[in-house]
A = this chain, B = another copy of it.
Amino acid sequence: MVREKTVKLTKFELEVMHVLWDLRSASVREIQEQLPEKKRPAYTTVQTIVRRLEEKSAVRRVKKIGNAFIFEPVVTRNATHNRLITELLELFGGSARPLMAHLAEAGKLTLEDLREMETLLVDQEGLTGEGREAKRGSLPRTRS
């Protein structure tokens, strides 16, 4: 459980990171071209964001092709997503239930999703979940 130091990223910075996570590495030009054309910002706007991401150590320069720098992510998608979720969760009192209830209510959550998660969760518990089980009380084997 190595806790990565995840920085705070803004909405736009996040979008750029997503491009980088997908492409593995890219130049400013490539990043800009990946952004949805509807709201594609000016080249230098993207450049500024990348620069700020650099300052935050969220990306780094890996090499230079021609006269253009190639950037790659330093923080992982996973760590960043976890951070986002944790923050949202705090607004909900820290519990996932209200959050899930909303998802269900909004029709974003299907029974299929739940079944899928169940499988996933069971597997996980088998591998690493022992500690948690003790901490939260053993699960009542409902619907035996």
- Main SS at interface, chain A: helix
Q: Considering the chains assembled together, what is the distance between the CA atoms of A89 and B104 in angstroms?
A: 13
Given contacts A81-B98, A88-B84, A116-B97, contact A111 B104 (CB under 8 A): no
The answer to the question of A48 belonging to the interface, with a C-beta cut-off of 8 Å to chain B, is no
Chain B residues near A121 (CB-CB < 8 A): 104, 109-111, 114
Q: How far is the CA of A106 from the CA of B120 in the complex (A)?
A: 13
Chain A: interface size category = 35 or more
- Select the residue from A14, A89, A112, A113 with max chain B CB neighbours within 10 A: A113
Q: Which residues of B contact A103 (CB under 8 A)?
A: 85, 96, 99-100
| Assembly CA distance A100 to B140 (angstroms) | 21
Residue of B84, B96, B97, B124 near A91 (CB, 8 A) is B84
Decide if A85 touches B85 in the complex (CB within 8 Å): no
Minimum C-beta distance from A55 to chain B (A)? 22
- Cβ–Cβ < 8 Å partners of A117 in chain B: 97, 100-101, 104, 109, 114
Residues on B with C-beta less than 8 A from A102 are 78, 81-82, 85
Chain B residues lying within 8 Å of A99, measured Cβ to Cβ, are: 85, 103
10 closest A-B pairs by CB: A96-B108, A96-B103, A96-B109, A115-B142, A104-B121, A85-B102, A111-B139, A107-B132, A100-B117, A88-B88
